[in-house]
Structure 1
Amino acid sequence: MGLANGKAYEALGRNPEAAPAVRANFLLGLVFAETIAVYSLLIALLLWLH
């Protein structure tokens, strides 16, 4: 996820006119990355408390 979002930044730097198309995919990648982090924290807490 992080690599894909980094490439989105590179794409925006090279071609600013493509911002609307790249921005949607970039935000979706950020949402997935954040979700993975929250789920990982939840699983770690459940394992620790169990």
Structure 2
Amino acid sequence: MPAQLLGVSRQTINAVETDKYDPSLPLAMRMAKLFGVPIDAIFLDDWEPPHREDA
């Protein structure tokens, strides 16, 4: 079970998966290693800065 391997609760894993919780950097690093993905895959974000007319 991933939660046990990562040393966190199942609720924490569920909250991360449903975008209700951003993991700490150490937890994200452990998740990336466990799942074999780059660290930035843990922090997917589609936010874009607003377009500025004066820029």
Structure 1 length as normaliser, TM-score? 0.28
Of structures 1 and 2, the one scoring higher in RCO (CA 8 A, sep 6+) is: 1
More helix by share: 1
